Amino acid sequence: MKKLFLLLIGVMTLVACQQETHTLYLDQMDLSKMETGWGKNQINKSVEGNPLTIAGHVFDRGIGTHAVSKMMIDLHGNGKFFSASVGVDDESNEHASVEFFVLGDEKILWQSGLMKKGDDPKLAEVNLKGIKKMALYVSDGGDNINYDHADWADAVIEYFGDTPPVSVQPVKPKAYILTPPPPESPHINYPRVYGAGTGKPFLFRIPASGKRPMKFSAEGLPAGLKLDANTGVISGNVFRTGTYKVTVTAENAKGKDRQEIKFFIGFKLALTPPMGWNSWNCWGISVDHDKVLAAADAFVNSGLADHGWMYINIDDGWEAEKRTDKGELLPNQKFPDMKSLAGKVHTHGLKLGIYSSPGPKTCGGYLGSWKHELQDARTWASWGIDYLKYDWCSYGNIAKDQSLPELQKPYKIMRKCLDNVNRDIIYSLCQYGMGDVWKWGAGVGGNLWRTTYDINDSWASMAGIGFSQDKCSPYAGPGHWNDPDMLVVGQVGWGPTLHQTRLTPDEQYTHISLWSLLAAPLLIGCDLSQLDDFTLNLLTNDEVLAVDQDPLGKQAVKVKDADGIQVWKKQLQDGSITVGLFYTGTSAPEEALQWNDKIKTRKITVNWDDLHISGKQNVRDLWRQKDLGVFEDTFEAEVNYHGVVLVKISGEK
């Protein structure tokens, strides 16, 4: 028997040895399953589309990618050899730092060590015999992904037999819902403070969840406002500056809720971070009238508006090619009637936002407001626009230099113009953080300012931005917010085709938790007509949204950052704090690569000393909406990889 077995093995080995060896270049494989931290993976080109070049060596073949980059390959056990020349592409700059790894069946087979721009290409030569699944991984080198342009040049797999290796989808953890559905009885949500201008058109939809029909009433409404009892929409004009405490009641067949909402008339707008939707992360320049209207309708029909989501913002791509003879800006044929669109959005008690640039052209190449600022502000006001995103773009060619006065100038000009129209228009500065805009954005009259370059739906991008916002914390407050860019949950794609966000469910919990801790503007960037239960649940947890909308307006600060974990703390108005315990992970491949569906976890401990609190404290899990008990001195939680446990900690009552 044993002899027969040995013979069989011998024959099989002989057959295998006789099997022909084939080669498959990486650039011949399906790259759609390869992940990149920025841009698009490119065949025989760098990630920015230039010839693959490492320290002056030019390569004809290979893949240009960007950290963090991952590719899983099924070798069917037929692998023989892998080789590639790797390095940072010359198109990058001195901020680049990456490390290349070749793994097989969860083990590191080869690693490049840290590589920077200008380092000579390194040759990876890896024996693949007996390996079932291999992975190519480029880490951020332990810092961040900025300028991490990485090349797998001349990358080729040798294999036995006729079944070529194939790239496979990385294992994606399944979505799981943490938050119980909101009760059918009325619950008045957030914001509970709202600012508007004296004598300007006032519009506020009471955010109340619960079964419809619902009846609304209000005591203490300032003169000039009326409430629609069926929709909860309050509108009118208040001509007397002041603070008005309004007691609002929402009632349905299941019960009643009564809450105080404070209206501050004549002081500041955006007393809490704006919450809404923006067309860019889903539709890009393919946005049109129907898509915008569909988003407004979806806010109402999905119930999002009942949880405080208010703004429907049109990003780039709405502008006509030419101004009128009088110099007026017009919408293009995709937006036949802006005024009527605004009117329809307003009927729901929602607001409409628009986009422009201080330069002659927007980032998408459409007309900007250069030399037409007042005229454009008037046009927008006449349409009924409530929010302006003003994006630097081609103003870079107008500005003399990058000095603070030059960076501030166009934003000051538009501020004056907005002050000249009879409408409240939230002013959103977008210039990617130049000149530490967080230090002067409020000074030039911005209600919010982008602190970063554009986000995308990768962990590297979202976490890279979100976890580096500590520096901006002191500058956020009611009326003026740091904007770490829009949300990348749900169906995104920058238009016209969309895909499900590449963030895992845990990464999405992290995204919403972190943005809420940061008191960030929350602008949903997905197609609302395709909202799945998970995404809707993620966007309608009122206890989490209350953290973002807290009237104190403090942005969270980082209290711990060590070995792949971070703890952030946000002070709330009622004296309690919200704490996020994040398992961000290190860039080690054993943590970063998901070979099976087992979720990695870590225990994270936070001590009261770190949080500057003491004594007995109630701890409540905000995603589960569940009290966890009374804790003294310390709290510990088991946290999923790239996930979060978000808790509210308040002194024992």
Binding site residues, ligand GLA, CB under 6 A: 280, 315-316, 362-364, 391, 430, 454
* Minimum distance, C-beta of residue 490 to ligand GLA, in the bound complex (Å): 17
DSSP string, 228-279: -TTT-EEEEE--S-EEEEEEEEEEETTEEEEEEEEEEESS-S-SS--EEEES
Provide the token pair at 586: 């290190």
- In sequence order, the β-bridge partners of residue 277 are 312, 524
Q: Locate tokens 């605004």: which residue?
A: 342
Do the Cβ atoms of 257 and 183 come closer than 8 Å? no
First to last CA, the chain: 77
The nearer residue to ligand GLA, 222 or 433, going by C-beta atoms, is 433
Distances (CA, A) of 400 to 410, 488, 620: 12, 35, 53
* Minimum distance, C-beta of residue 437 to ligand GLA, in the bound complex (Å): 13
The nearer residue to ligand GLA, 398 or 572, going by C-beta atoms, is 398
The nearer residue to ligand GLA, 363 or 531, going by C-beta atoms, is 363
* Minimum distance, C-beta of residue 86 to ligand GLA, in the bound complex (Å): 30
* Minimum distance, C-beta of residue 456 to ligand GLA, in the bound complex (Å): 11
* Minimum distance, C-beta of residue 584 to ligand GLA, in the bound complex (Å): 25
* Minimum distance, C-beta of residue 112 to ligand GLA, in the bound complex (Å): 32
Amino acid at 451: T
Q: Which of 74, 143, 436, 454 is catalytic?
A: 454
- β-pairing, 275-278 vs 522-524, is parallel
The nearer residue to ligand GLA, 41 or 362, going by C-beta atoms, is 362
State the Cα–Cα distance between residues 409 and 412, nearest whole angstrom: 5
3 state DSSP class of 286: helix
Provide the token pair at 493: 């794609």
Q: Locate tokens 């966890």: which residue?
A: 628
- The CA dihedral of 387, 391, 392, 393, to the nearest 10 degrees, is -150
The nearer residue to ligand GLA, 251 or 391, going by C-beta atoms, is 391
DSSP string, 372-417: -HHHHHHHHHHHT--EEEEE-GGGGGTSSSSSHHHHHHHHHHHHHH
Q: Which of 89, 90, 391, 424 is catalytic?
A: 391
The nearer residue to ligand GLA, 135 or 363, going by C-beta atoms, is 363
Q: For the packed helices 338-347 and 289-301, what is the interaxial angle rounded to 10 degrees?
A: 0
As to burial, measured by CB atoms within 10 angstroms (0-12 exposed, 13-18 middle, 19+ buried), residue 54 is buried
Q: Has 391 been annotated as catalytic?
A: yes
* Minimum distance, C-beta of residue 283 to ligand GLA, in the bound complex (Å): 11
Cα 33 to chain centroid distance, Å, stands at 21
Q: Has 454 been annotated as catalytic?
A: yes
* Minimum distance, C-beta of residue 318 to ligand GLA, in the bound complex (Å): 11
Provide the token pair at 152: 């797998």
Task: Name the DSSP class of 370.
Answer: T
The nearer residue to ligand GLA, 202 or 280, going by C-beta atoms, is 280
The nearer residue to ligand GLA, 68 or 354, going by C-beta atoms, is 354
Active site residues: 391, 454
